């Protein structure tokens, strides 16, 4: 199988039969025109042994994170998550107690966002556990926070800090869920097992009514930034010294931090672009609700791609995050 993203392009339809489709394949979620609100639909799948093992996550975390990944996609469209459906393929190695914890992880997160479980499917399998979650949400009509909205002159921004999830995974792979962790290390582990989707900043950006390009960070900053650059036909230049890093992450060597930030993923924060003036207003609104938006770069014209500026040196930042057919 070739590259995951190239494969997706090869199966994408040339057009849509339904005139209500605003955005289909190619963004964080599908966007469909509704009467009072536009509808958002997304789906993510987690496979045991690929996305998680019992050495890195308890069953509760598996359910929580499967739903969190989808809520994050809704956030990247500026939307409100409303409903979810669950399809699960269960091997004989899983017992009812563990499966109940998977659903409890989803239910607890759903309660926090006032979401409802409205259906799904349950089957058996001879292979590993496979968990697919579909989430439906909504956003005000006409709000299209698409990857293709970036324009030269925009600032590139980030919500919150990134790299913690990959740091937590590194610790879990080294010591497992039963390992002992310092208070600081436990913060990284929690970031991996119980990530917080940034619905709040997404809603503020949607409410601004301004042009915003937005992407959630599931595959690492490098991959997500490149998706915006490719979709918009622009150059994103990221400033190494302005990348948002938590105090816990700064305890590690800088090259390790960079690896986790650029290529780790599963932070479920937001990366986007908008005009400098519009950004200032959005950042102030986010700050009032306890979220931080930080400028980490700028957008210019040129051959689509991402550059990393470190001091006076500028180097390409390639799309090398998680790829299902390469990892």
The beta-strand segments (E) located in 68-190 are 80-90, 116-124, 130-139, 155-159
CA distance 323 to 213: 22
Asked if 196 and 165 touch (Cβ cutoff 8 Å), the reply is no
What is the secondary structure of 46-79 as a DSSP string?
A: EEBTTTB-TTT--HHHHHHHHHHHHHHHHHHTT-
Asked if 236 and 292 touch (Cβ cutoff 8 Å), the reply is no
CA distance 314 to 286: 31
* Binding site listing: 28, 44, 51, 73, 103, 120-121, 147, 216, 218-219, 266, 322
Tokens of 184: 């600081």
Burial class (CB in 10 A: 0-12, 13-18, 19+), 15: exposed
CA distance 228 to 214: 8
CA distance 118 to 78: 22
Tokens of 223: 């991959």
Asked if 156 and 53 touch (Cβ cutoff 8 Å), the reply is no
* Binding site listing for Mg(2+): 28, 44, 73, 121, 216, 219
* Binding site listing for ATP: 103, 120-121, 147, 218
* Binding site listing for substrate: 51, 266, 322
């Amino acid at each position: 199988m070739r590259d995951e993203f190239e494969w997706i392009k090869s199966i994408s339809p040339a057009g849509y039969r339904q005139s209500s489709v605003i955005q289909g394949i190619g963004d964080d979620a599908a966007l469909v025109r509704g009467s009072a609100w536009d509808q958002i639909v997304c789906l993510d799948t987690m496979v045991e042994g690929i996305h998680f093992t019992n050495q890195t996550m308890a069953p509760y975390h598996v359910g929580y994170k499967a739903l969190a990944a989808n809520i994050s996609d809704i956030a990247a469209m500026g939307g409100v998550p409303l409903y979810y459906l669950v399809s699960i393929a269960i091997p004989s190695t899983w017992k009812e107690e563990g499966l109940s914890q998977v659903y409890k992880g989803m239910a607890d997160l759903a309660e926090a966002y006032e979401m409802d479980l409205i259906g799904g499917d349950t089957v058996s399998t001879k292979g590993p556990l496979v968990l697919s979650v579909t989430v439906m949400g909504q956003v005000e009509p006409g709000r299209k926070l698409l990857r293709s909205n970036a324009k030269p002159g925009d600032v590139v921004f980030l919500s919150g800090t990134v790299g913690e999830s990959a740091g937590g995974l590194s610790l879990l792979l080294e010591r497992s869920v039963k390992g002992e962790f310092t208070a600081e290390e436990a913060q990284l582990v929690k970031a991996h097992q119980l990530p917080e989707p940034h619905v709040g900043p997404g809603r503020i950006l949607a409410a601004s009514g301004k042009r915003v390009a937005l992407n959630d960070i599931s595959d690492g900053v490098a991959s997500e930034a490149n998706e915006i650059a490719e979709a918009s036909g622009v150059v994103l230049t990221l400033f190494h010294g302005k990348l948002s890093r938590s105090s816990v992450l700064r305890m590690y060597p800088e090259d390790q931090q960079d690896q986790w930030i650029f290529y780790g993923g599963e932070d479920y924060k937001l990366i986007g672009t908008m005009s400098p003036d519009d950004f200032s207003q959005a950042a102030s609104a986010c700050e009032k609700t306890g979220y931080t938006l930080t400028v980490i770069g700028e957008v210019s014209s040129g051959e689509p791609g991402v550059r990393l500026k470190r001091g006076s040196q500028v180097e390409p930042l390639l799309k090398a995050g998680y790829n299902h057919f390469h990892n």
